[in-house]
Structure 1
Amino acid sequence: MPTATPFLPLMLGLAGLIPFVATATAAWLAPVVWQVVAVDAFLYYSAVILSFLGGVQWGVAMSQQPAGSPAFRLRLLLSMAPSLIAWPALLLHPLTGAWVLAGGFILVRLYELTRSSRAILPVWYHTLRMPLTLTVLACHGLLIARLWGY
């Protein structure tokens, strides 16, 4: 039975979308010089949030799985992948970086949907994460469309 997402995580999750939506919009509508700033801001923020999602998995491993178990080791190792995707993405051409970051968000979400993650993460977390991820990916799509001509 689905449980309601607690108010604070819901509000923080929605607030976390504001920079994505604002910078993706500014990449299209702001004066040209600010469009460049918006693209950079979008990519940096995306990298930070992708890394944060890896940190969530680190916390899950530490608090929910026996230290030293195979599941613990695997989750800890996989928790590093988002930051190892995000940081190099910032060194690439912005269009390529946007694609890499979008791919990182997809990979994290797919991992969250695995049987082991579904068993250990609260139902409300999954309820919250799906629309957040879809919105983040839509914003990446907007940015990629904007950058396609560069």
Structure 2
Amino acid sequence: MSTDSAPCARQLPRVATVGLGVAGLGPFLATLAAAFLAPPPGQALAIEAFLAYGSVILSFLGGVHWGLALVGAGGSEPAGRRLVVGVLPSLIAWPALLLDPPATAAMLLTGFVALRLYEAGPGAAGLPSDYRRLRTRLTAVVAACHLALIARLLLLA
């Protein structure tokens, strides 16, 4: 990986962009659909599964920044800041699971969007440009799913 301040020019493998990235949306989409369409006990389980998966994925995304800091690929972004950014998603996601579902979904949504905004600014250093494009697309879908779930939860209240 590049150690300068410019984003890494290395291309992601196609399996990451087409296969795994898109496949990672499957649990969001499936549990969201079940939150609307399943019988009531299934809806409750789907909502729990959606929020748990969102928490796991948000934590996973923080690991990218921890890894960049460890290999010194953060460019001009201080390694200490990159390490903090790497841990913050987990520190948002885990306690979010202790809240009521609408608040959990809102907190996870905030975490996903905030991390993507960081990656679009100073956090872009060391990230391949196709990774950044992929993350923008995936975050847009994940955010839309969270907004739909919040709407559904407010309808259930």
* Fold equivalence (TM over 0.5): yes
Is 1:136 the equivalent of 2:142?
Answer: yes
Give the one of 18, 33, 40 matched to 1:25.
33
Supply the AA of the counterpart residue of 2:103: T
| Structure 1 residue 34 displacement after superposition | 0.1
Supply the AA of the counterpart residue of 2:137: P
Residues 34-73 of structure 1: pairs in structure 2 closer than 5 A: 34-65=42-73, 71-73=78-80
Larger mean CA deviation between 23-32 and 70-79 belongs to 70-79
Give the one of 78, 101, 116 matched to 2:108.
101
Q: Which runs of 5+ in 2 are unaligned?
A: 1-8
Classify the secondary structure of the residue corresponding to 1:80: helix
Q: Which has the higher relative contact order, 1 or 2, with Cα contacts under 8 A spaced 6 or more apart? A: 2
* CA distance in structure 2 between the partners assigned to 1:79 and 1:71 by the alignment: 12
* CA distance in structure 2 between the partners assigned to 1:75 and 1:23 by the alignment: 32
Would you tell me which structure has more helix in proportion to its own residues? Answer: 1
Supply the AA of the counterpart residue of 1:81: L
Supply the AA of the counterpart residue of 1:126: R
Provide the alpha-carbon RMSD of the alignment: 1.9
* CA distance in structure 2 between the partners assigned to 1:120 and 1:4 by the alignment: 12
| Structure 1 residue 65 displacement after superposition | 4.0
| Structure 1 residue 43 displacement after superposition | 0.2
| Structure 1 residue 27 displacement after superposition | 0.3
Identity %: 50
* CA distance in structure 1 between the partners assigned to 2:77 and 2:148 by the alignment: 39
- What's the TM-score once normalised by structure 2's chain length? 0.87
| Structure 1 residue 92 displacement after superposition | 0.1
Classify the secondary structure of the residue corresponding to 1:120: coil
Residues 102-121 of structure 1: pairs in structure 2 closer than 5 A: 102-114=109-121, 116-121=122-127
* CA distance in structure 1 between the partners assigned to 2:114 and 2:64 by the alignment: 14
Q: Which runs of 5+ in 1 are unaligned?
A: none
| Structure 1 residue 70 displacement after superposition | 7.0
Distance 1:49 1:72, change over 3 A: same
Q: What is aligned with 1:75?
A: 82
| Structure 1 residue 6 displacement after superposition | 2.7
Is 1:147 the equivalent of 2:153?
Answer: yes
